[in-house]
Structure 1
Amino acid sequence: MGYVLNVRDFCEKVRDLLSANLSFNKGRIKVRKHPKNGFYVEGLSSWPVGSYRKVAKLFNEGTRARTIAVTVSSRAHTIVRIEFTQNYGKPHSMRTSEINLVDLAGANDSKGRQMMERG
């Protein structure tokens, strides 16, 4: 069993790319810092998966929800997090693994408005 999360950060506005209502969550989810556990995204949806096919489906849905300008590179950071939990049948014998796929915003070949957004 596992979970998939997909988040995008563009000009410091975080969006949940797997939310059922993209316009609703625009600017409504926040990055927070827990004193012991570190950074997390408050309000981010998490989707259960049990197969590679479901992971691929959610990955593709998140990719379609991204907004990419007509440039050589994306202007937003995107993070896809996949969490897996394995149960070995014994009490307290579970293992959890996480993988983060990160697409950092590119700066190459930016012009005009895109250069202004970069600062």
Structure 2
Amino acid sequence: MYAKEEKCLISQICEGLFSKISERSTSNMVSFRTEVRYGMFFNMYVYDLLKKKTVVMESGGLRVREHPRDGPYVENLSKHFVHDYSNMEELKTAGNANRITARTRINDSSSGSHDIFTICFTHKWFDAELPRERMSKIHLVDLAGSERADTTQTSGIRLKEGANINKSLITLGNVMSVLGKWHSKQDY
């Protein structure tokens, strides 16, 4: 087990979530449900990290869709119900083992992917004999770093992967810029 300061951000958030759940689940009138999804955006395709690595790479990628009410989602991305912190850690570890990494001049295990670890959390309770429900989603994103071909001395497939990483980071920057401009024009 890691010392507290050595845990990654995902682990710290998950540990805190389950700590709060255990504090609040003393009443029969309260229930919690937690599920996890773990996806990888690699080389312009989306893969499910919680499936075996051979299945992940042979699947050809998943489709990104838009739900009219819930917004964007990845079609057929598996969801896994978790009951405690150790169960969530096991899933995160299994997903990390399926990530695609490659050796570059700078990094022995450079991640060529953007990864999204999603926690869907549902809290149900009764308020004056009426059932209530609150659902939250936390998307924890691990972005691949930009790639400079001359510095990493990559070629062939790795060079193409680096170009796709840079292309996706530029697109993300453009989206954030548009959202920032839109946000600054809103009246609050």
> TM-score under structure 1 normalisation?
0.84
C-alpha separation between the residues in 1 aligned to 2:113 and 2:67?
24
Instruction: Map 1:41-52; keep pairs closer than 5 Å.
Output: 41-52=74-85
Higher relative contact order (CA 8 A, sep 6+): 1
- Residue 89 of structure 1 aligns to a residue whose secondary structure is strand
Hey, which bits of structure 1, 4+ residues long, moved more than 4 A? none
Correspondence for 1:105: 144
Once the 2 structures are TM-superposed, how far is the Cα of residue 34 of structure 1 from its aligned partner? 2.7
**Structure 1 residues 13 and 107, CA, compared in 2 at 3 Å: closer, same or farther?**
same
Q: CA deviation at 1:117?
A: 2.5
The Cα offsets for residues 51-102 of structure 1, whole Å up to 9 and x where unpaired, read as 1111111111100111211243311011100111111234331121221111
**Contact preservation (8 Å) 2:53, 2:98:** no
Structure 1 or 2, whichever has the larger Rg, is: 2
Relative to its length, the structure with more helix (as a share) is: 2
Q: Which residue type is aligned with residue 104 of structure 1?
A: L
Residue in structure 1 matching 2:131, options 76, 87, 92:
92
Q: Which residue of structure 1 lines up, in the alignment, with residue 21 of structure 2?
A: none
d(CA) in 2 for partners of 1:60 and 1:17? Answer: 10
Instruction: Please give the alpha-carbon distance, in whole angstroms, between the structure 2 residues aligned to 1:36 and 1:62.
Output: 28
What is the TM-score of this pair, normalised by structure 2?
A: 0.56
Deviates more, 1:11-20 or 1:38-47: 11-20
Q: 1:7 maps to which residue?
A: 39
Following TM superposition, by how much is the alpha carbon of 1:35 offset from its aligned partner in structure 2, in angstroms?
A: 3.7
In structure 1, the residue corresponding to 2:118 is in which secondary structure? strand
In 2, distance between residues paired with 1:81 and 1:110? 31
Q: How does 1:19-98 map to 2 (within 5 A)?
A: 19-20=51-52, 22-23=54-55, 26-71=59-104, 72=107, 73-90=110-127, 91-98=130-137
Q: Secondary structure at the match of 1:48?
A: strand
Uncovered stretches (5+) of structure 1, i.e. residues with no partner: none
Number of aligned residue pairs: 119
Q: CA deviation at 1:43?
A: 0.7
